[in-house]
Structure 1
Amino acid sequence: MNQPGSTRVENPQGFIHTGPGNIYVNGGPHLQDSDKPTFRRVAEDQLCRLRRVLVAPINMGKARATLADTGTVILDGAPGSGRTATARVLLREWHRDSGVFHELLPGEEDELALHDPHLVGSGDQLLLDLSAAADRQWSAALADLPALRKAVHEQHAHLVVVMPHDGTLDPDLQYYRVEIQRPPGLQVLRRHLRMHGLPYEQYMQYDVIADEFVRADRPMREIADFADLVRRARETVRPDEGFTQWCAAAKRARNDRRREVAALVAELREAPQRALLIAVSMLHGAHADVIHRATQLLLRTLRSPSDGVPLLQHKDLAEQFREISADTGPSGHVRFTELDYDSALRAHFWDHMPDLRPHLGSWATTVVDLNDPHAVPAVRDSLVARLAGQYLRTGRGDALASLAERWSVESTGGARLEAAVHALTWGLDDPTHGREFRRRIYKWCVHGRLRGEFAQVLVRVCADVLAASHPDQALLRLYYLARRERDTTRARQALYDLVAGSPRLRRRLLDRLARSDLSPPDLDIFLRVSDPVPLTESSGTSRALAEENEVQRSLTTSWHAVLSELPRATWQPHAERWLHQAAASPGQRGELLLDLLVGAAERCGKRRGEVFATLYASAREAERAAPGGPARSVEATELLLHKISVAQGLGPAAPPPASARGTQP
């Protein structure tokens, strides 16, 4: 069932390839809470696996050298040569703690323009994939590319651009262009087979089918698909069969089986038989107990009447499985005897019984809730992935999104929430529907009625999935969720974790806060993200965030709102951290923190005298809790008092000498 332009979800633990030359590695979300944000682990795992499976295309070395020398490389190459996979691996090689991976999406409504210098952070790894761009979009990107390259150079970042094949390129950019060519197909196939765990002595032997397949100049995607079929054939055939038989089964599975499965369905007309066909196709590889219970649940969902036959006269499972060309192995797990039969049957029932579709969503809910020792998370994840594959394959992303929302709202436990996250993940990762899902999630975060546990599902999707490749979009969505948060702090914590790894994202959030209405939720977020330590640290560049004029304006605006509108008990602990950091930071950076506090207080109009006094009193209190003793903190307090006096026109502009500070009680 290889149909051009379709989306096929076969094995959510394997490699999913969804377009010529582009390799999408989906390992399934790992959503357990931990000390580190999950999205970092997911992104790292995906990129590391991609690096191991990629066979370097011709001119990979030249691309690597160009990127190292200039910070920019523009990849060209025929579709199917592995351009985007190569781009991701090149960027993975420049991963540093100071930057984040960021896939640029010019033209989306909540993305910064390519010429905006704030798009690039120190040490970032930027991917601009325009391999499928139309002439107009490519021309617009070329106009912005000089400004983007300048920002990349200044921030010691790295940029890989994937250009349209044979697209035009300005003469001054030709130096950065590297044309890659597909690597040997047999080598690619063997690398995938090795990564799938096949024995060396098997995949290294010559096979006519495999040789004919790779000699046809297949796109990297098709070779990866064939390797996955060989892997699954190995898992289902008899122990005495080897590589030759596995390749033969993979070749048969690539044939169009629509007529074959249509004939089988027409032959099996009884409701229990068809329910079993659907259950096995959607839960392929699950234990027979799960298949049996899922079949009964489907019949109940469809309100099929009982046959009234006494229990002992029913066909046993072995006979029922034989009728539908399925079998159980020694471990009791059910699979069709013919490879890839499951995906063909899923497509058949979905395409030719459209009235069945809404019932399959309801049925999947009951299976997700199934209390059975064999209904392990991998089984649930596979079910959601296969159901999502049918929605996405037929352009029904809206129905998949609605199903995920319903699972979140009606959740009776963690299983449905995990299913909802998994469903939205497949939507976001789909190259055709990803933009639609990003837009939909934005609307939910900003305006949606977040009932039940839906807000927590959105938090996890933004932090664990979206942030891995689109951190700016994740930032904006988490910000809106954090503003609306009442009974939990998960959105805020996810937001803090996201900006902790990127000064650029912290700068953008501070700017967003300063331009907001600075409501109490905004001020609470500000007090947490304005930690003075990352504000005064250098991160690969010569300037700290607090030394940037735009950041200073954002900090002053927000601190003014804090001092004007919040009680002292709320802001005192945060001001204390600023005062302690001012005392601990040598030179101008420590003094700058005091200037920002005084500047914010000075804006308080008629209340500024009262705010100055409160700020000074807070500094004196902070001396007692100063890390490393009060001596340097006393100096900072006296310097603060001097700045307050200057702001009020009560003292000389020159600060007192350091030796004279701290002498007054």
Structure 2
Amino acid sequence: MTEHTTWVEGTHSVTHTGGGDIHVSLGAAAHEPRKPVFRQLPDDQLRWVRRVLVAPVNMGRARTTLDETGTVILDGVPGSGRTATARVLLREHHRPIGAFRELLPGEQDELPLRNPALVDPGDRLLLDLSTAEAGLWHDALGGLPALRRTVHERRAHLVVVMPHDGTLDPDLQHYRVEIGPPVSPLEVLRRHLRAHGVPYEQFLRNDVTIDEFLSDRKPMREIADFADRIRRARESAGPGKEFAEWCAAAKHARAGRRAEVAECVAGLPDASQRALLIAVSMLHGAHADVVHRATALLLSAVGHPEAETPLLQRKDLAQRLSEISARSGPDGRVRFTELDYDSAVRVHFWDHMPDLRPHLGAWAGRVVESNDPHLVPDVRDGLVARLAGEYLRTGRAEALAALAERWSAQGADRARSEAAVQALTCGLADPAHGKYFRERIYQWCVYRRLTAEFAQVLVQVCADVLAPDHPDHALIRLHHLARHERGTTHALQALCDLMAGSRRLRRRLLDRLARGDLAPPDLAIFLRVSDPAPLTDRSVTTRALVDEEEVRRSLITCWRAVLTEAVSRPEGRPMATRAEIRHWLHWAAEGAGDRGELLLDVLVEAADRCGEDRGSTFAVLYTSARQAECASPAYDARSAKTTDLLLQKIGVAQGLGPATPSASASGGRS
């Protein structure tokens, strides 16, 4: 496959580090919550890599090392497919528990490699340091032994991709496997072509273009890209074209078309033709109506006066397209006649007309909100992805981020909000600028006063784009968004959804809340995320979250703040708080099994720490227990017994009864 994985077919991936487009569609109004669409994408990506990977040299040894030890450290020359191999190895260890995650040591909000909280049972962890500088690699080496031990203890799996020129400590040499590129580059190309749907009877023939391309050893990335060009040449070829002609077109496109485009532009002095050339390159494959309207919008954006020629005397669109080597097909979609001509046009105007760049951003915003039935999501997203590609190619990540924010200004409609999501998705997926966008999104979530539209864009990006590979980063950002949320609960719901399947994330958020200032927004968040059902669940492991001392400590700290707020501000949230208490007591009686007493211990100890208000908080607990008992669906002896046990614990806390061992003192029953 590739050194930096390139999804070279029309997959539904949000990870994208090669050529082509990324398409993201919200599918609903940007101001309404919706079901996340990207939650399962990491596994989709891993399946795709597995499909196209030809096993590199020493793949078997790497697999055995990972199977036997839970850890493998991959080394190899750049271009040998190390990262793709790492992903496939982790894909082979897919289990119902745990998740695939990529670790980002040194980044903001990333736990240190030494921290055991980084790993959940069954996790599949990728630590890709193939391009890391010496300092980062040295720091990572210091934490690797501790990380490896945690991975082993929790039956997780870790694949590290080390820098090829990096050194490795002697005690880690046992886990190192040096892989080499596959023996047959031709088989790599054919595997990609087969995955792209090219008939095998075509690519099994000998072809002089392929022989020439593979005559010297190519990195896996270049082979994947060449296969993708053949695929696109096949799709755009006219009837009667054969495999050899597709390969020749791919070869020509690979050589680059900058000189051709420069000559074409020089021969088009008319602004309207240049605008059409740009519009086709940015909307390649769009319907002719969309291209025509976009051309007019571009001329307006740059202040070009409208044509004075009478309408029926003007050139029709077909003639104008032929003058720029483009045509409209039977389906009405406009494409250049030569492969990759569109990307060469974009590069030419972006590089050689820099004053045009700000106009292109404003123009794209107007195009995406056009009311045209042919402006389907794929076309809109393709436009944004191509524009974002030029920003990123030339190192203008900050300008792209600012553009996404402008598109999400007050009053932005759904189309502009979707475009902003798409732009940020492209930035996050870019290997050179992903870190910048993760940090920029953090700054927005923490420090900026956001419009409702932009806040929802960030919720969408965190929940659907950032969370699959980097859930900890998404957790922190969604927490900040939820704290600042007013009038909606989109961020809070996304935060709850994110934690729903992860004990590790729930543990981390509870710890984060307990260590914070527990302002009223945090208390509201706590009451939503402290559902006792997952806290007492033992379907994954024999030990429930509430069995863990650290989790109980966090719960006690947060409940103390909730109870204090309830009794000190009776005009605030006492009814809502009592409803949450009743829910805990219902669960302690009927759903928690032998962990029910631990839930009571948490509430009583939290109330006992309320200082001058402890008497009032004990009264709130007891009253809530009686109400819960009366409202119990079963209204049976279990609820009454729970109330009696709670009253006994309150008495002990107040020194009114005999001391009895609490469940928390013994760490819970197992």
Of 204-213 and 216-225, more deviation after overlay is shown by 204-213
**Equivalent in the alignment of 1:613:** 619
Tell me, yes or no, if structure 1 residue 464 matches structure 2 residue 431. Answer: no
Q: CA RMSD in A?
A: 2.4
Mapping 1:150-161, distance limit 5 Å: 150-161=149-160
**Equivalent in the alignment of 1:321:** 321
Query: For the structure 1 residues 580 and 410, does the alpha-carbon distance in structure 2 shift closer, same or farther, using more than 3 Å as the test?
Result: closer
**Equivalent in the alignment of 2:436:** 436
Tell me the CA shift for residue 380 of structure 1.
0.4
Deviations 1:194-250 (A, max 9, x none): 222222222222211112223422111111111111111112221101110000000
Query: For the structure 1 residues 18 and 517, does the alpha-carbon distance in structure 2 shift closer, same or farther, using more than 3 Å as the test?
Result: closer
Of 348-357 and 133-142, more deviation after overlay is shown by 133-142
Deviations 1:5-37 (A, max 9, x none): 999999876889977xxx799863353479854
Tell me the CA shift for residue 61 of structure 1.
2.5
**Equivalent in the alignment of 1:659:** none
Tell me, yes or no, if structure 1 residue 639 matches structure 2 residue 653. Answer: no
Q: 1:601 aligns with which of 607, 610, 625?
A: 607
Contact 2:475 2:505 in 1 (8 A): yes
**Equivalent in the alignment of 2:659:** 653
Contact 2:538 2:544 in 1 (8 A): yes
**Equivalent in the alignment of 1:660:** none
Q: Name the SS of the counterpart of 1:151 in structure 2.
A: helix
Give 1:267's aligned amino acid: G
Tell me the CA shift for residue 540 of structure 1.
4.2
Tell me the CA shift for residue 53 of structure 1.
2.3
Of 403-412 and 414-423, more deviation after overlay is shown by 403-412
**Equivalent in the alignment of 2:146:** 147
Query: For the structure 1 residues 37 and 573, does the alpha-carbon distance in structure 2 shift closer, same or farther, using more than 3 Å as the test?
Result: farther
Contact 1:25 1:50 in 2 (8 A): no
TM-score, normalised relative to structure 2: 0.92
Mapping 1:230-379, distance limit 5 Å: 230-379=230-379
Of 531-540 and 32-41, more deviation after overlay is shown by 32-41
Contact 2:392 2:433 in 1 (8 A): yes
Deviations 1:544-586 (A, max 9, x none): 2111121111100100011110343111222122212222357
**Equivalent in the alignment of 1:128:** 127
Query: For the structure 1 residues 425 and 16, does the alpha-carbon distance in structure 2 shift closer, same or farther, using more than 3 Å as the test?
Result: closer
Distance 1:162 1:8 in 2: 17
**Equivalent in the alignment of 1:212:** 212
Tell me the CA shift for residue 471 of structure 1.
0.8
Deviations 1:615-659 (A, max 9, x none): 112112112333555221211111111111110111112389xxx
**Equivalent in the alignment of 2:570:** none
Query: For the structure 1 residues 511 and 502, does the alpha-carbon distance in structure 2 shift closer, same or farther, using more than 3 Å as the test?
Result: same
Contact 1:580 1:626 in 2 (8 A): yes
Q: Name the SS of the counterpart of 1:469 in structure 2.
A: coil
Deviations 1:399-454 (A, max 9, x none): 11111111111554211111100000000111111111111100000011202400
**Equivalent in the alignment of 2:407:** 407
Q: Name the SS of the counterpart of 1:128 in structure 2.
A: strand
Of 459-468 and 531-540, more deviation after overlay is shown by 531-540
Q: Name the SS of the counterpart of 2:192 in structure 1.
A: helix
Tell me, yes or no, if structure 1 residue 223 matches structure 2 residue 223. Answer: yes
Q: Name the SS of the counterpart of 1:48 in structure 2.
A: helix
Mapping 1:106-121, distance limit 5 Å: 106-121=105-120
Of 480-489 and 567-576, more deviation after overlay is shown by 567-576
Q: Name the SS of the counterpart of 2:114 in structure 1.
A: coil
Give 2:628's aligned amino acid: A
**Equivalent in the alignment of 1:57:** 56
Give 2:352's aligned amino acid: H
Query: For the structure 1 residues 499 and 94, does the alpha-carbon distance in structure 2 shift closer, same or farther, using more than 3 Å as the test?
Result: same
**Equivalent in the alignment of 1:661:** none
Q: Name the SS of the counterpart of 1:624 in structure 2.
A: helix
**Equivalent in the alignment of 1:592:** 598
Query: For the structure 1 residues 586 and 339, does the alpha-carbon distance in structure 2 shift closer, same or farther, using more than 3 Å as the test?
Result: closer
- Give aligned pairs, total: 649
**Equivalent in the alignment of 1:28:** 23
Q: 1:581 aligns with which of 571, 584, 587?
A: 587
**Equivalent in the alignment of 1:395:** 395
Q: Name the SS of the counterpart of 2:101 in structure 1.
A: strand
**Equivalent in the alignment of 2:575:** 569
Contact 2:410 2:452 in 1 (8 A): yes
Deviations 1:341-386 (A, max 9, x none): 1101100000000000000011101110111121111000100000
TM-score, normalised relative to structure 1: 0.93
**Equivalent in the alignment of 1:663:** none
Deviations 1:259-291 (A, max 9, x none): 221111001110011001101111111111111
Distance 2:171 2:16 in 1: 33
Q: Name the SS of the counterpart of 1:309 in structure 2.
A: coil
Distance 2:386 2:62 in 1: 37
Distance 1:12 1:405 in 2: 28
Distance 1:231 1:11 in 2: 9
Distance 2:64 2:387 in 1: 44
Of 330-339 and 52-61, more deviation after overlay is shown by 52-61
Distance 1:150 1:624 in 2: 50
Contact 1:284 1:342 in 2 (8 A): yes
**Equivalent in the alignment of 1:91:** 90
Distance 2:71 2:658 in 1: 51
Of 192-201 and 219-228, more deviation after overlay is shown by 192-201
**Equivalent in the alignment of 2:104:** 105
Give 1:571's aligned amino acid: T
Contact 1:7 1:392 in 2 (8 A): no
Distance 1:542 1:587 in 2: 13
Q: Name the SS of the counterpart of 1:40 in structure 2.
A: coil
Distance 1:327 1:633 in 2: 76
Distance 2:640 2:439 in 1: 52
Query: For the structure 1 residues 227 and 655, does the alpha-carbon distance in structure 2 shift closer, same or farther, using more than 3 Å as the test?
Result: closer
Give 1:462's aligned amino acid: C
Of 600-609 and 193-202, more deviation after overlay is shown by 193-202
Give 2:228's aligned amino acid: D
Q: Name the SS of the counterpart of 2:631 in structure 1.
A: coil
Deviations 1:282-332 (A, max 9, x none): 111111111111111111111112331111111111111111011122112
Distance 1:638 1:380 in 2: 63
Give 2:507's aligned amino acid: R
Distance 1:550 1:15 in 2: 37
Give 1:137's aligned amino acid: L
Distance 1:315 1:25 in 2: 32
Contact 2:4 2:84 in 1 (8 A): no
> Structure 2: any 5+ residue segments left out of the alignment?
567-572, 663-670
**Equivalent in the alignment of 2:177:** 178
Contact 2:6 2:224 in 1 (8 A): no
Distance 1:16 1:252 in 2: 29
Query: For the structure 1 residues 272 and 495, does the alpha-carbon distance in structure 2 shift closer, same or farther, using more than 3 Å as the test?
Result: same
